[in-house]
Amino acid sequence: MAVKLEIRDVSKAYDAPGGDRRVRALDGISFSVDQGEFVSLLGPSGCGKSTLLNMIAGFEAASSGEIRLDGKLVQQPGADRGLVFQDYALFPWKTLLDNVMYGPQKRGLPKRECVEIARRYIELVGLAGFEAHYPHQLSGGMRQRCALARSVANDPDVLLMDEPLAAIDALTRNTLQEEILRVCDARNGTPRKTVIYVTHSIDEAVFLSDRIVVMSPRPGRVFELVDVPLPAPRTDETRLLPEFHELTARIWRSLKIYAKPA
């Protein structure tokens, strides 16, 4: 499997309020992500998961180390990386259809093709019939489906997701986890999406991931890389498997024992 993304000895430090000291958010992060792999960044709040995701997106620069995508140094945002945020980040003045069309339109595709792409992904996330609705007319789960459709419709090489389901109720969250895997999977000749997913939920990371990067409290360090050998497709039955519970329990024990603040 070809390596898609490389994180090489990445550290990040900020000036503390007042500017009298430096706060180290990340310390020597190193791992790689293969093409088509779903990798979750798991750790307690404040461990630098979102900071690392923002650096992969090109929104922030590393204090030291480097991030490479397809061998090229990441220095700025690009259309090869799509983002899904916790707060949806939809345009409130645009309909669902127009929100999903936004990426293809910015790429300069003909309007008819943009509409076809948008409708295909709207149907894929189960929102057919709501094309003319505005974000305020949709539930939280529906808005997140729209955000997912909008990101995937732009056909990024890598999908970056920052706790997109944190504000969703438990039942809807489980359904959307399956939706994420289905939308990102290979289909109609297109390859499986490479996904970097930020979460503080052990269950969610185990359900979604091929591999989990377990991070320590600040300064964030990688203290364990966990393979998730659960069978596909992942469904509600997956959550009942003994292997699922054994793996979540193992990660929980590791977090309690080894993730001590520095």
3-80+157-258: CATH number: 3.40.50.300
Q: Is 82 exposed, middle or buried (0-12, 13-18, 19+ CB in 10 A)?
A: buried
Checking if the pLDDT of 54 tops 80, the result is: yes
pLDDT at position 262 = 47
C-alpha to C-alpha distance for 114 and 103, rounded to whole angstroms: 9
Please tell me the pTM assigned to this model.
0.92
pLDDT at position 87 = 79
pLDDT in tens, 185-228: 877 677 889 999 999 999 999 999 999 999 988 889 998 999 99
C-alpha to C-alpha distance for 155 and 65, rounded to whole angstroms: 28
For the chain, the residue count is: 262
Report residue 36: phi and psi, to 5°.
Answer: 80, 5
Three-state DSSP state, 150? helix
**CB of 96 within 8 A of CB of 148?**
no
**Strand-pair partners of 12:** 26
pLDDT in tens, 64-95: 999 999 999 999 999 899 999 887 789 999 99
C-alpha to C-alpha distance for 157 and 69, rounded to whole angstroms: 10
Percent of the chain with pLDDT over 90: 67
* Residue boundaries of the structural domains of the chain: 3-80+157-258, 90-155
Task: Please state the rounded mean pLDDT for residues 41-63.
Answer: 93
Q: Which two tokens stand for residue 1?
A: 């499997």
Strands (E), 63-111: 64-69, 72-73, 81-84
Question: Which own/partner pairs from 86-93 qualify as long-range (CB within 8 Å, at least 24 positions apart)?
Answer: 86/162, 86/163, 86/164, 86/166, 86/167, 87/167, 88/135, 88/143, 88/144, 88/146, 88/147, 89/147, 90/135, 90/143, 90/146, 90/147, 90/150, 91/135, 92/134, 92/135, 92/136, 93/134
Phi-psi sector, 156: left (phi>0), alpha (psi -120 to 50), beta:
beta
Helices (H), 2-57: 49-57
